[in-house]
Structure 1
Amino acid sequence: MNYAQLLFPDFSLIAIGWLLCRYTALDRRVWDQVESLVYYFLFPVLLFHSIVRSPLDFGATSSLLTAGVGVGVCGIVLAYALPFVPGLRTHIDRRDHAASAQIAFRFNSFICLALAERLGGSEGLLLIAVLIGVCVPIFNIAAVWPMTRHAQTGFVRQLVRNPLIVATVAGLLANVLGLTVPTWATPTLTRIGAASLALGLLAAGAGMKFSTLGAGKVLAVSVLAIRHLLLPLVAWVLARALRLDAAQGAVLMAFSAVPTASSAYVLAARMGYNGPYVAGLVTLSTLLGVVSLPFALALPR
C-alpha cells in the first residue's frame, strides 16, 4: 500500500492554502470567513452524516470498541499529563498545550475510512464506522475541555454551544435510534462533507506559520510522539490482549496511527487559541503518517 500517495491529497491542500494566503489576494480576511463556514456548518454536517450513515453493531464489535476507546483514553491521559512531566513542564506553554493536546489523540476520519476499505473491504468499513461513531464524540469533548478549562469558561456551556460536539452527539443518538438520512438528501450531504474536508485543510494551510513551531518544539515533539509512536504500541498491546481477529486488528492498528484530525486547527482558531501553531502540527502529523502507518501495520499480531 502506498501511504505517501494516500496522504498526498491532504498535504497538498495544506500547501495550497499556505501559498494562496501568502502570495495571492486571498489573504487572512478571506480565510477567517472560511474558518467560520467550516466550523459552524460544513464540519458539523460532515460529522453528523459520517456517524448516521452506517449502523452501529455494538455487540459484534465490543472487543474492537474496547480497544479503540482504550487507545483514545491512553492518548488523552498522556496528552493531558504533559505539563506535569518533570523535565517537560518548564518547556511547555500551558495555553499552547490546551490548544494542541487534541493533536495527540484525534484522528482523520477520511483517511481511516480509506484505509479500512483497502484493508478489509466492506467489513473494514463497517468496523471503522463503529469506531468513528463512538470515538468522535468522546475525542471532541476531550479536545474542548483543556481549552475551556484554561480560558476558565463554563465547560458545559461551551459543550452545548460547540457545533462539532452537538453534531457528533446528535449523529450518535440518531444512529442508536435507527434514524436514517433520506436517500434524496445523501448526495447533498456527501458534497458538503467533501467541501468541509477540502476547505478545512486549505484553511489549516492558510493559518500555518512555521515560526510558531520553533517556539514550542518540546510540546510539538511530545504530542506527535504520542500520536504516531506511543498510540500504535498501545493498540498493538490491546489487540493482543483482547485477541482481536485479523480484520479488527488491522483496523485498530490503522486507527491508532493515522494523522490527526484536520479540524483541530479550525477548533483551536475559532476558540481563540494559537491556530498557526496547531496548523503546523496538523501538517507535521500528515507527513508522519507516512511512517507511522506502515510501522503500526507491520507489528506482529
Structure 2
Amino acid sequence: MGYLRDGQWCDRWDYTRKDGSFDRWTTGFRNWITPDGSTGPGGDRGFAAEAGRYHLYVSYACPWAHRALIFRALKGLKDIVGVSVVHPEMLAEGWSFGTGFPGATGDRVAGQAHLRDVYLRVDPGMSGRVTVPVLWDTKEQTIVSNESAEIIRMFNSAFDGITGNTDDYAPEALRAQIETVNARIYDTVNNGVYKAGFATSQDAYDAAVGPLFDTFDWIEDRLSRQRYLVGARITEADWRLFTTLIRFDKVYECHFKCNRRRIVDYPQLWAYTRELYQWPGVAETVDFDHICRHYYYSHDMINPSRIIPVGPDLDLAAPHGRDALPVA
C-alpha cells in the first residue's frame, strides 16, 4: 500500500488520519477520450477515440477497476481497448505485473515489472498513489486517466461511432438522479466499506459502518418498488453499486468487519446482485480467486496471518426473479 514521492517508491501505510479514519487520496490524471479528440469535461486536453489506440491496466480484485472492465464488456470494447491485469497480491512493491497467478497477464504494452513504472513513464518525478484502473494511450505514450468514474463515462459514449453500440448508461434525462444516487452510494457503500475496514479507532469504525447499513436498508426498500436504482432502466449507478455488492459476502463482511448483515440476507439486494451478475458479459469480469487473494493476503495490517478464509458458496446463477418488475 505504498506510494511515489518525487519519483521514489515509499513502502508505507499512509492512508489514515490522526483520528483513525480512512483517507482516500484523489486521482491525478483526469483527461478525456472524446469522439473527435476535443477537450472533454475535465483535464487539459482531449484524446480522439480510435480502435486499438488505448489500453486499460486493471486488477480483477479492485472494485474501481472492475467498473471499467464491466463497461468495456457492456459497450463492446473488448476488441477496441486492450487490457493488462496485475497480480492480485499488492505487497511491498505495490501492484506488480507478475504472472505467477492464473489470470495475471503481465504488462502487455511495455513488459514492465510494476504498475508504478507506467506512472513514471509519464512523470519520472511523480508524487502520489499508484492505482488502477489506468487508461493508457499507446500512440502518445501517456496516461489519459486513472479516475474510474470518468473512464466509464468515456467508455459509455466515446467509441459509439466505432462500435455501433449506442447503449447509454448515463442518459441525460436521468443524469441528475444518477448523480444523486451515486453520491450517496459512493460515500457510504463503495468507499464506506473501506472506511470501516481500514479504521484504526472505534469511533471511526462506528461512523462508517452505521451509514453503510442505513444505505443498504434504503436500497433494499428502493429495489422492492422498482427494477433498478433510478427506475425501470439500468444505468451507471447500478454498475457502480454492483462491484461492491459482488465482493461483500466474500470479503467485506468478514475482512472489513461489515458483519451486521450479508447481502444474501436482503431479499431484493441479493436478487438484484444475481441479475446484474447474469447480465451478458458481466460474469467473466468477476474473478473471486483474485478478489479473495488480494484482500486477505495483501492487507497484513488487518489479516497478519494472511490466511484466506474458505468463504461462503454463492449461487449467483440461481434465478433472480426480478423479471416481474417493469423495465424500460
* Bigger Rg over Cα: 2
- Give the structure with the higher percent helix: 1
- Give the structure with the higher percent strand: 2
Higher relative contact order (CA 8 A, sep 6+): 1
TM-score between both structures, scaled by the size of structure 1: 0.28
TM-score between both structures, scaled by the size of structure 2: 0.26
